[in-house]
Every structure is written in C-alpha cells, then in structure tokens.
Amino acid sequence: MLSYFGWIIAVFLIGLLLLLWYRITYPTLKAHFLTINHFRGKSYDEIPKLLSAVPQQTEDRENGQRVRIWCTRGYSISLLFDRHEFCLGVEQECN
C-alpha cells in the first residue's frame, strides 16, 4: 500500500514538473505582449515575428485603418493599424 502511494506522489510531481517546463518553454500570449515596451510605430510585419503569433481576427474600417485582434483563453488584445500597416497603438485589451 505504501509503495502504491509513493507512485501516486511520483506521478503528481512529474506532472507538475512537465507543467512548469511547458510554461517556461511556451510563454503565454500576454507574456509575449508584456515583453514589448510599445507598439506605436512598429510595422505589422514586425509584430507577429516578435510575438510568435498571428492575429486571429482582422477588422477593416472605412477610413482605411485596420484592427487586428490576438486572443487566447483569458486574454485578448486589439491593435489599430493605419493604411500603411504601421501600428497606432492598443485599441482594446481584456484580461
């Protein structure tokens, strides 16, 4: 019985270590965005490379501006771009 309990603890610890390794190796979208000090003035081509992620949604506006939205479970950010594909800033951010 005691050896069975030891296996349960060992499996739990291995799972915990794998989870920690995964979080360090693959940071969240929010962590990627926090590493960038500012978005204004960066081109659209630069931002996905910095984030290692492409936007999930794009909205075009009548004035030629474009909103690009990155989202994951529990976090979403929208960036506004001008007609020349340079970022004007954060449109909306939700935790």
- What CATH number has the domain bearing residue 34? 3.30.1450
Q: How confident is the model at residue 27 (pLDDT cuts 50, 70, 90)?
A: low
Position 24 scores a pLDDT of 62
On the question of pLDDT at 85 being above 90, the answer is: yes
Answer whether residue 8 is part of any domain. no
> Which amino acid is located at 23 in the chain?
R
What total number of domains does the chain contain?
1
The rounded distance, in Å, linking the Cα atoms of 53 and 75 is 14
Average pLDDT, the chain: 83
> Domain range spanning residue 59?
28-94
Percent of the chain with pLDDT over 70: 85
* pTM score of the predicted model: 0.68
Highest mean pLDDT among 8-12, 15-19, 45-49: 45-49
- Residue 13 resides in a domain: no
Nearest-5° Cα angle at 18, 17 to 21: 85
In this predicted structure, what is the pLDDT of residue 16? 82
